[in-house]
Structure 1
Amino acid sequence: MALSKFLDPKNNLSFKKMFDSEKNKNILIHFLNDILDFSSSDQIKEIEFLSTIMDPKIAFDKSSIVDVLHWY
């Protein structure tokens, strides 16, 4: 079986490798604006990468790990 030299963007690990870093922020912004078909007035101009690990407020609660955190 021949392996492609390119990452498959449908794979979660590949997707994170391509888009989940400050150095690829412009690529992610462009991708989101294109995929969401935002008009020029609604376009995403800036994103902020936050920690994906949400520590519990109480020590015995479970911690959570999220991929996307969105707010207006």
Structure 2
Amino acid sequence: MRAQKPFLDEQSSNLQLIMEKYNLDESAALDAFYTSATGANFSDDETGLYGQSPLYIFGLYSNEIDEQNL
């Protein structure tokens, strides 16, 4: 049986993806994520988004940012 990664480790990898793609430091990446619609949904227990994989969450965030920049 494979050991599961702790929740915070998984979300740290999501933050790392944001930092790398958008060339942001940790503070700016956190601010950008949590002020986005994806970040708001992530913080809302009703959506269940917090239980999704970091790559899925990053994909939602990335799509949101890319659509804003069109």
Q: Please confirm whether the aligned pair reaches a TM-score higher than 0.5, indicating the same fold.
A: no
- TM-score (normalised: structure 1): 0.29
- TM-score (normalised: structure 2): 0.30
Larger helix share, 1 or 2: 2
Larger RCO (CA under 8 A, 6+ residues apart): 2
* Higher radius of gyration, 1 or 2: 1
Larger strand share, 1 or 2: 1
